[in-house]
């Protein structure tokens, strides 16, 4: 069973419930046949632990892999070689690449900044607050009151707020109408944009309002979907919206904001954009089936 998956171009890093990770060259085996056995196109396989893999994040030639008991391993994805191993308190649930380190979070609110050499920093996010439920983490860029480009790690920790952080320290808290479940950052027409999906089905964008000392960041509602949003991705010029409870993928063209629904045979667990095409791979909720889904207007 596939318990976690991440993509890097047409290479997929797949984690299983048995603690294994393997690299799949999807493009090499999908050109001539509709159905692909992932084992037929596996470049290498590595056993990280005896627990289920719960999180995978790729950057360049390295990846961070976390499991259900807090084991974190940095791998070279070309060779499958283990570069460094760390231990967190709880199940590893989120990771992003930011300022030359992997920022990794566990389900009880610990965050580590790590690379293949050492632990650069760590922070416990629930101190002085109620317990957290880490939902999403993403490296983001935005413009401040002086139009300077700033870089933060955005976190949704299960409450009705979105945190912008630096080295685990909270720089800004943005009030949200609902729990933020996913964050998507990208550059569109040379302008950084940050979209957030909510558990109420609303799609939001972080926008700046006011000038000078009255400048503030707020969430602006852009659209409303009929199901809780679980993931947001960019494929070419389209924003791809999915939810774990609905058998569709929604594609929104960012140029004209035209939207369409793409029906699916099953509800999606997650999707993986393919950088060399306008398709996405959809991992269904059965955690065994990958579906190659074309995206309109991408």
Q: Which of 20, 93, 84, 89 is CA-nearest to residue 55? A: 93
Q: Render pLDDT for 229-240 as a digit per residue (tens, 0 to 9).
A: 999 999 888 899
Would you place residue 22 in the very low, low, confident or very high pLDDT band (cuts 50, 70, 90)?
very high
The edge-to-edge listing of strands for the beta sheet with 268-273 is 268-273, 279-284, 290-294
CATH number of this structure's domain 1-98, picked from the four choices 2.40.420.20, 3.40.30.10, 2.40.50.140, 2.40.10.480: 2.40.10.480
HSE-CB for 140 with a 13 A CA cutoff: 26
269 vs 17, 88, 101, 248, 283, CA distance in Å?
Answer: 15, 25, 27, 11, 6
User: pLDDT band for position 196 (50/70/90)?
Assistant: very high
The answer on pLDDT for 181 being more than 50 is yes
Q: What angle do CA 226, 209, 167 make, to 5 degrees?
A: 85
Helix, strand, coil share (%) of the chain residues, nearest 5: 5, 60, 35
- The arithmetic mean of pLDDT across residues 91-117, rounded, is 96
Exposed/middle/buried for residue 257 (C-beta within 10 Å: 0-12, 13-18, 19+): exposed
Domain boundaries, the chain: 1-98
With a cut of 80, say whether residue 126 has pLDDT above it: no
- pLDDT for the residue 28: 56
Residue 281 has pLDDT above 70, yes or no: yes
Instruction: Pick the more confident residue, 188 or 156.
Output: 156
Residues in contact with 149: Cβ distance below 8 Å, sequence separation at least 6, in sequence order: 141, 142, 143, 192
Asked whether residue 169 carries a pLDDT value surpassing 80, the answer given is yes
Residues listed for the chain: 298
pTM of full prediction above 0.75:
yes
**C-beta separation of 41 from 27 below 8 A:** no
276 pLDDT tier (thresholds 50, 70, 90) = low
């Amino acid at each position: 069973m596939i318990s976690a998956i991440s993509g890097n171009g047409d290479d997929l890093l797949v984690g299983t419930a048995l603690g294994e990770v393997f690299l799949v060259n999807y493009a090499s085996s999908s050109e001539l046949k509709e159905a692909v056995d992932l084992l037929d196109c596996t470049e290498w396989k590595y056993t990280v632990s005896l627990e289920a893999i719960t999180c995978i994040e790729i950057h360049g030639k390295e990846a961070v892999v976390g499991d259900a008991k807090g084991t974190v391993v940095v791998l070279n994805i070309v060779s499958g070689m283990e570069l460094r191993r760390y231990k967190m308190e709880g199940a590893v649930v989120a990771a992003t690449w930011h300022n030359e380190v992997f920022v990794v979070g566990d389900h009880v609110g610990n965050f580590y900044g790590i690379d293949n050499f050492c632990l650069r920093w760590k922070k416990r996010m629930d101190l002085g607050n109620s317990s957290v439920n880490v939902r999403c983490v993403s490296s983001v860029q935005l413009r401040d009151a002086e139009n300077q480009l700033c870089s933060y790690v955005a976190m949704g920790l299960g409450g009705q707020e979105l945190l912008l952080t630096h080295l685990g320290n909270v720089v800004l808290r943005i009030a949200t109408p609902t729990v933020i479940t996913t964050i998507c950052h990208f550059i569109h027409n040379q302008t950084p944009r940050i979209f957030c999906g909510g558990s109420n089905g609303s799609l939001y964008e972080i926008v700046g309002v006011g000038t000078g000392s009255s400048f503030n960041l707020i969430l602006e509602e852009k659209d409303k979907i009929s199901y809780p949003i679980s993931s947001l991705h960019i494929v070419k010029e389209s924003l791809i919206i999915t939810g774990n409870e609905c058998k569709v993928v929604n594609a929104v063209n960012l140029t004209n904001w035209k939207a369409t629904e793409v029906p699916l045979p099953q509800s999606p667990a997650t999707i993986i954009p393919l950088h060399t095409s306008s398709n996405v791979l959809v991992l269904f909720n059965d955690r065994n089936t990958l579906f190659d889904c074309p995206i309109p207007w991408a």
